[in-house]
């Protein structure tokens, strides 16, 4: 953002501080060091990358932006196929961790930055695709809208957005039963730690309903191409800038 000092000061009074951690503290060194291990048995990152590459039709000309890259696992996989990846995260610890991993693998086509949805530099109509997984729920709903608006600006016309996140597809009135059941199932299938994280996600972060995120996509100039409901608490969307 190129603002003069007076404008910046006015904005500072109301602009959301996305660098303040909400819920799980991803600046914490041990949280970051254990992150990949924690999901090793519950996620297949090769399959995730393959699915995203096919869905977004990425190729060796693609310029891709990953927001909330975390430990950089997806960015690193995509960098082996795509022309360039920009990857950002509001956690310095995460960015440093991901950067070191990429250096170890001698990858030179990823630019990492310590930034987030609300502060990345908007290069108008630049990216072929934006990918964000399990990160947007750290912003309250109004700021999710600002984030989507900014992502649309930096996407090329016809560019694609892939979002996977804590998005609730259950009926509003059934929240208690659905949440308790899902936490219980997570405890049995994935262990206490992940079950506790689902509870923290609901209590201290900002998951929202599918119908809210769909409204935000449409109001900000995106067309929903595909919606996948993974569980009652998690969905993904493929959208295109119209
Ligand atoms: C649950 S992790 C997900 C990491 C990775 N995308 C994955 O799928 O494993 C959430 C990540 O989002 C980052 N994050 C939180 N708020 C953010 C924001 N406003 N902008 C960008 N990243 C953010 C956190 O620092 C953390 O690394």
CA separation for the pair 113, 23 (Å, rounded): 22
Model confidence pLDDT, tens digit, residues 126-172: 999 999 999 999 999 999 999 999 999 999 999 999 999 999 999 99
CA separation for the pair 125, 76 (Å, rounded): 24
Task: Spell out the alpha helix ranges (H) of the chain.
Answer: 5-14, 29-39, 45-55, 73-79, 92-104, 141-154, 175-190, 192-204, 210-219
Residue 4 lies in a domain: no
Residue 151 lies in a domain: yes
CA separation for the pair 111, 127 (Å, rounded): 13
pLDDT at 220 over 50: yes
CA separation for the pair 226, 130 (Å, rounded): 15
As a whole number, mean pLDDT of residues 221-229 equals: 98
Residues in the ligand 1 pocket, defined by CB under 6 Å? 18, 26, 67-70, 89-91, 94, 116-117, 133-135, 138-139
Question: 221 C-alpha vs ligand 1 centroid, how far in Å?
Answer: 24
Locate the ligand 1 atom nearest the alpha carbon of residue 132 and give its number.
6
DSSP 57-85: T--TT-EEEEES-TTSHHHHHHHTTSSEE
pLDDT at 2: 47
pLDDT at 6 over 70: no
Per the structure, the count of domains in the chain is: 1
Q: Give 90's DSSP letter.
A: S
Question: 137 C-alpha vs ligand 1 centroid, how far in Å?
Answer: 9
pLDDT at 38: 85
pLDDT at 10: 57
Residue 189 lies in a domain: no
Question: 117 C-alpha vs ligand 1 centroid, how far in Å?
Answer: 10
- Note the pTM of the prediction, 2 decimals: 0.95
Return the residue whose CA atom lies nearest to atom 27 of ligand 1. Answer: 70
Residue 211 lies in a domain: yes
Residue showing tokens 């990918």: 131
Sign of CA dihedral 164, 170, 176, 179: negative
What is the helix (H) or strand (E) element at residue 237, kind and residue range? Answer: strand 234-241
C-alpha Rg value of the chain to the nearest Å: 18
The residue segments making up the domain with residue 150 are 21-169+207-241
Residue 174 lies in a domain: no
Q: Pairing mode, if any, of strands 63-67 and 222-231?
A: unpaired
Residue 69 lies in a domain: yes
Model confidence pLDDT, tens digit, residues 185-208: 999 999 999 999 999 999 999 999
pLDDT at 40: 81
pLDDT at 123 over 60: yes
pLDDT at 1: 42
The CATH number that applies at residue 58 is 3.40.50.150
Residue 45 lies in a domain: yes
The per-residue pLDDT of the chain, averaged, comes to 95
Model confidence pLDDT, tens digit, residues 7-36: 555 567 899 999 998 899 999 999 999 999
Question: 6 C-alpha vs ligand 1 centroid, how far in Å?
Answer: 31
Count of residues for the chain?
A: 242
Residue 236 lies in a domain: yes
Question: Which one, of 162, 238, 171, lies nearest residue 211 by Cα?
Answer: 171
């Amino acid at each position: 953002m190129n603002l003069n000092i007076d404008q910046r000061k006015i904005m500072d009074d109301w602009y959301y501080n996305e660098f303040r951690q909400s819920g799980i503290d991803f600046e914490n060194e041990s949280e970051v060091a254990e992150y990949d291990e924690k999901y090793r048995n519950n996620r297949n990152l090769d399959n995730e990358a393959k699915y995203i590459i096919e869905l977004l039709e990425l190729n060796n000309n693609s310029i891709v932006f990953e927001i909330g890259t975390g430990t950089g696992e997806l960015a690193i996989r995509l960098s082996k196929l795509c022309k360039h990846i920009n990857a950002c995260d509001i956690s310095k610890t995460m960015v440093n961790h991901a950067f070191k991993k990429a250096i170890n693998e001698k990858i030179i086509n990823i630019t990492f930055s310590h930034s987030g949805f609300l502060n990345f530099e908007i290069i108008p109509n630049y990216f072929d695709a934006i990918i964000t997984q399990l990160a947007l729920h750290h912003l309250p709903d109004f700021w999710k809208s600002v984030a989507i608006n900014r992502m649309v600006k930096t996407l090329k016309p016809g560019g694609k957005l892939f979002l996977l996140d804590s998005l609730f597809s259950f009926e509003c009135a059934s929240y208690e039963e659905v949440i308790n059941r899902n936490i219980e199932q997570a405890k049995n299938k994935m262990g206490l730690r992940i079950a506790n994280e689902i509870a923290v996600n609901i209590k201290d972060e900002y998951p929202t309903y599918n119908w809210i995120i769909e409204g935000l996509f449409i109001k900000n100039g995106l067309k929903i191409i595909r919606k996948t409901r993974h569980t009652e608490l998690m969905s993904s969307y493929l959208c295109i800038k119209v």
